[in-house]
Amino acid sequence: MNLKVGLVGLPNVGKSTIFNALLQKAKAEVANYPFCTIEPNMGIVSIPDERLNEIAKKEGSAKITPAFIEFVDIAGLVKGASKGEGLGNQFLSHIRSVSAIAQTLRCFEEEDIVHVEGEVNPLRDAEIIELELILADLQTIERRMEKAVKQAKSDKNALFEIAVLEKAKAHLEEMRILRHSISDFTLEELNFLEKTLFLLTLKPIMYIANIGEEDLVNPQGNKHFRALKAKAEIEGIPIIALCGKVEAELSSLTENEREEFLKAFGLKEPGLYQMIREGFSLLNLITFFTAGPKEARAWTIKRATTAKEAAGVIHSDIERGFISAEVISFEDYKKAPNFQKAKELGLLRLEGRDYILEDGDIVYFRFNV
């Protein structure tokens, strides 16, 4: 399942610092100048999930294997990127390869760190990025339109393409982000725009507000964050407030040191944990679990996956020989000492191949090959 979340933003907003903290090691270069990152950095990050730890403890599992998500640190985008400014289309192509966007926006003031636009203003920065993505999508559509028009005389599918392209182009020319206009398109039209053209403004997005250390306890006290949150709420965009500098410090501490550090700020967990989970959600993913003495494991599937399809995520033989699935929700599982006792108490359900798995389901697959 090749699903990635791309960290996108202007230069010097803290993307690489946050990315390094995600990986808990300094993989991406961090420096106080634009275009410090040129080639995208990629890293696999485990999903923090206390449910898995509880399952492993109850089942006495010798090994714990979490679910994972891939993050990509993409070089800074600047005004005019769609016309080749900065490193231009090279960056835009990297964004095209991800499935969701974590738009990182600077909400902290610090004179020693230059801002490419001269002053801190996350609303302006968000608008710059949105405009460049719109212009890039318009270029993609215009190129595809030229090809479709040439093919229209001999290919009926080209007529469908032209109609969809014209509709999408009309939205973009009005400076409208396509993900805000999904209801205007049929499922077939959206599939074409998403899976054939990989349009940037259709990708799901969240805002990462990089705030200062002094605003960690109360992000609402930061005027930049307040303004950005208001925009996010109007547009239905998830927003996470974190301090990249603090997250970088946290990533280098032991577990006990981290707990003390968080306690000093009155925080329950690192902000990156929220970011990881939100990225997982943006990709429309859920988790199901399998557990036993050898291993407790979290598995990643798309929402609306059937039991038979989920079995194939573990092994194709299990999917091919699928008979049924013994399923218990995590909430019901908490009522019993372990899986076997839950079964004895009648808390498990026997489900068929078409059962749609829910997030947190614990599953034992019956199969015969």
Contact 35, 27 (CB under 8 A): no
14 is in an annotated binding site: yes
- Cα–Cα distance between 340 and 90 in angstroms, integer? 54
13: tokens are 């907003």
The helix/strand/coil state of 329 is coil
Contact 206, 278 (CB under 8 A): yes
Regarding beta strands 349-351 and 322-328, do their DSSP bridges make them parallel or antiparallel, or are they unpaired? antiparallel
Q: Helix 15-23 and helix 244-251: axis angle, to 10°?
A: 20
16 is in an annotated binding site: yes
Site of tokens 């206390």:
50
Q: What are phi and psi of 139, to 5 degrees?
A: -65, -45
Instruction: Provide the β-strand partners of residue 72.
Output: 6, 42
> In terms of C-beta density within 10 A (0-12 exposed, 13-18 middle, 19 or more buried), how is residue 316 classed?
exposed
Q: What is the largest CA-CA distance in the chain?
A: 70
Give the E-state strand segments of the chain in sequence order.
4-8, 41-46, 63-65, 68-73, 100-106, 205-210, 239-242, 285-291, 295-302, 322-328, 349-351, 362-367
Contact 15, 6 (CB under 8 A): no
2 is in an annotated binding site: no
> Which H helix or E strand runs over 16?
helix 15-23
327 is in an annotated binding site: no
- Cα–Cα distance between 164 and 154 in angstroms, integer? 18
The helix/strand/coil state of 299 is strand
| Residues placed in the known binding site | 12-17
| Residues placed in the known binding site for ATP | 12-17
